[in-house]
Amino acid sequence: MGLTLSPLRRRHILFALILVFLPSTVFILISSPVSDMSGEEALVERLAELQLRLQHLDAMYRAREEDVQMLSQHLGQLLADSVNSSSLPPEARYLLNNGTAAASGHLLRLPSAYHFLPHLLLSPTSLRPAYSLSKGRSGVSVIMGVPTVKRLVQSYLVSTLQNLVESMSREEQEDAIIVVLIAETDEEYVLQVANEIKEHFEAELTSGLLEIIAPPPSYYPDMNRLRTTLGDSPERVRWRTKQNLDFAFLMMYAQPKAMFYIQLEDDILAKPHFLSTMKSVALERITNKRPWFVLDFCQLGFIGKMFRCVELPWLVQFFFMFYNDKPVDWLLDHLIHTKSCSLDKDTKHCKKAKDELWIHYKPSLFQHIGTHSSLRGKVQKLKDKQFGKVRLFIPHANPVAVVVSDIRAYKQYTLKRAYNGESFFWGLLPQPGDHLLFKFITPIAIKKYIFRSGNLEHPSDRFYNTTVEVLPVVTPTATYESLNYTADGFIIVGKFDHMGLAEGKVDPKLGAIKEMRLTVHSESENWAILSEIFIESESNR
């Protein structure tokens, strides 16, 4: 009777786990709605999901078994090194003598991450997040990894997270986790980004949909002592090496929490209900016993790549082995090549074999929207043509008006064209006191208004510290002393929020409005976009 479990004992434990999870799964199979699928198709798909969950449980069990083996080795070493083991309690001596094989000194040791990254041995917390904000959600179908680093020009992180959340239904959100890896070791910067995420996504953090982690400085090797490979500059070698290690850290954290892992980036756009589509494609292949290692839902880099969580150790180990040699997307290609290609076959046969493990889904579910890379000086303009057109503005029919802008427009992106629903307005560097003015030909009673700034390609080009103001035909009486007037008689009715949106209603007691305007109150470091202008009155409802 030792600490190492026999195969029979292991099967007994797995069978017990099946009995624990099976009743709830059967209940799901019986009670869950089948939506558009036939009952038989839904049953087959859910059985495939159950099979995958059992594989996940088996992987988690093997991980715990590995922990037991390591503990057994340490105990054996303790026994071998103990000078006065006879002084130990009888129970401890029995455990050390019968539960460890390491005392004989003949146990072989498996290679681990420490062989490729020996510096990790210098700190016991190297593989533990230095910062973590999590509600501990686990057992979901899908976990998404979003690494983010400091960008010198523009950050797309908040816009990306907002799009991911808005592209999921409530049911999808309840069965998923989004993990943001702030891949920086500057504690002040990590807290700054974490606080920004807290400000915008409090509900998602509270529910457990969103988690934030950051690696410890000791996780990374000395980046100034890397080998120069592929003829790249030292800066580029450091950049891609760090990306390999960042992805590995994120995958290790995500692996025990879900069945599927999706690698994303912090400057992307997703299509609505992308999660259900991806899960259905994966389960369909599992149901029909069609092999795959990666499901690819975007043609660019490492965006939108989906893996089984039980197979993430393949990637992590491969990344650790070659982290200094090649970029992460090249390593993925080499791993698939190693798993599928034969040396005695030609290139055509190899491509066919790889295509059986690397499945490309069309049309693409993700688009790259960032322009400025985190690598200094690199401009990334690649777009996935399979994604389709990205809507950069929302057109509306607005009341007839003369529009005037104090902010100079960039090229053809004028305020007049934006107001008429032909494009978006793009203005250069707003300054304090700048106005965007709408003079109605005929005074109107405004029901509500929407001014949305920024768009999917330029999410940071928003209006900040900007108010929405109206000028009634008749000045309100003294009864309305609570109204907030400007020096020139306009009444402030709203302002842009932290997401660059101004939306609201105008009190009907103000009567007909002859002018409406936006007033900028502080200098901006960015240009400003109005991607939606909607002024609703009786005439255009």
Do 461 and 529 meet the contact criterion of CB atoms below 8 Å apart? yes
In a domain, 346, yes or no: yes
CA distances from 524 to 192, 255, 496, 520, 528 (A): 20, 42, 14, 9, 8
Average pLDDT over residues 520-530: 93
Give yes or no: residues 293 and 148 share one domain: yes
Q: Does pLDDT of 73 surpass 70?
A: no
More confident residue, 181 or 40: 181
Average pLDDT over residues 520-525: 92
What pLDDT score was predicted for residue 355?
93
Q: Does pLDDT of 21 surpass 80?
A: no
pLDDT digit string (tens) for 343-357?
A: 888 889 999 999 999
pLDDT digit string (tens) for 437-457?
A: 999 999 999 999 999 999 888
Strand order in the sheet with 210-214: 131-133, 210-214, 176-182, 140-148, 258-263, 305-308, 294-296, 358-360
Give yes or no: residues 199 and 265 share one domain: yes
What pLDDT score was predicted for residue 368?
87
Query: In the 8-state DSSP scheme, what is residue 266?
Result: S
More confident residue, 52 or 462: 462
Task: Quote the distance between the C-alpha of residue 52 and its chain's center.
Answer: 23
Q: What is the band of 372 on the pLDDT scale with cuts at 50, 70, 90?
A: very low
Q: Does pLDDT of 85 surpass 70?
A: no
In a domain, 385, yes or no: no
Give yes or no: residues 212 and 321 share one domain: yes
Give yes or no: residues 166 and 50 share one domain: no
What six digits make up the tokens of 279? 């899960």
Query: Do you know the residue count of the chain?
Result: 541
pLDDT digit string (tens) for 218-245?
A: 999 999 999 999 999 999 999 999 999 9
Give yes or no: residues 256 and 142 share one domain: yes
Give yes or no: residues 52 and 167 share one domain: no
Give yes or no: residues 309 and 456 share one domain: no
Q: Does pLDDT of 99 surpass 60?
A: no
Give yes or no: residues 313 and 417 share one domain: no
Task: Quote the distance between the C-alpha of residue 165 and its chain's center.
Answer: 9
In a domain, 261, yes or no: yes
What pLDDT score was predicted for residue 101?
47
In a domain, 287, yes or no: yes
Q: Does pLDDT of 180 surpass 70?
A: yes
Q: Does pLDDT of 77 surpass 90?
A: no
This prediction has a pTM of 0.71
Q: What is the band of 481 on the pLDDT scale with cuts at 50, 70, 90?
A: low
User: What is the CATH classification number for the domain harbouring 533?
Assistant: 2.60.120.260
Report the DSSP pairing between strands 466-472 and 491-495.
Answer: antiparallel
Judged by phi (left if over 0) then psi (alpha if -120 to 50, else beta), residue 500 lies in left
What pLDDT score was predicted for residue 26?
42
Residue type, 225: R
Q: What is the band of 22 on the pLDDT scale with cuts at 50, 70, 90?
A: very low
Give the Cα-Cα-Cα angle 419, 424, 426 (nearest 5 degrees).
Answer: 110
pLDDT digit string (tens) for 125-154?
A: 899 999 999 999 999 999 999 999 998 767
What pLDDT score was predicted for residue 525?
84
Q: Does pLDDT of 474 surpass 50?
A: yes
User: What is the CATH classification number for the domain harbouring 302?
Assistant: 3.90.550.10
Give yes or no: residues 263 and 125 share one domain: yes
The residue range of the domain holding 57 is 39-79+92-99
What pLDDT score was predicted for residue 82?
57
Residue type, 183: A
Share of the chain above pLDDT 90, in %: 62
Lowest mean pLDDT, pick from 94-108, 170-184, 220-234, 489-503: 94-108
In a domain, 87, yes or no: no
Give yes or no: residues 60 and 163 share one domain: no
What pLDDT score was predicted for residue 11?
52
What pLDDT score was predicted for residue 88?
59
What pLDDT score was predicted for residue 52?
75
In a domain, 252, yes or no: yes
Give yes or no: residues 51 and 123 share one domain: no
Measured between alpha carbons, how far is 304 from 257 in angstroms, rounded to an integer?
18
Q: Count H helices, E strands: the chain? A: 14, 19
In a domain, 29, yes or no: no
3-state secondary structure of 269: strand
Q: What is the band of 68 on the pLDDT scale with cuts at 50, 70, 90?
A: low
Q: Return the closest-CA partner of residue 541 out of 447, 450, 421, 441.
A: 447
Measured between alpha carbons, how far is 251 from 336 in angstroms, rounded to an integer?
18
Lowest mean pLDDT, pick from 68-72, 101-105, 187-191, 251-255: 101-105
In a domain, 30, yes or no: no
Q: What is the band of 89 on the pLDDT scale with cuts at 50, 70, 90?
A: low
Q: What is the DSSP string of 362-429?
A: SS-SEEE---B-SSTT-B-----TTS-PPP--B------EEEEESSPBPTT--HHHHHTTSS-EEES-
Q: Does pLDDT of 248 surpass 50?
A: yes
Count: domains in the chain: 3
What pLDDT score was predicted for residue 369?
82
Q: Does pLDDT of 329 surpass 80?
A: yes
Identify whether 476 is preceded by a cis peptide bond (ω within 30 of 0): no
Q: What is the band of 175 on the pLDDT scale with cuts at 50, 70, 90?
A: very high
Task: Quote the distance between the C-alpha of residue 480 and its chain's center.
Answer: 47
Q: Return the closest-CA partner of residue 417 out of 384, 395, 388.
A: 395
Give yes or no: residues 502 and 356 share one domain: no
Query: Average per-residue pLDDT in the chain?
Result: 84
What six digits make up the tokens of 39? 């009952």
Q: Does pLDDT of 498 surpass 60?
A: yes
Last residue of a domain, one of 351, 368, 385: 368
Segment (H or E) for 307: strand 305-308
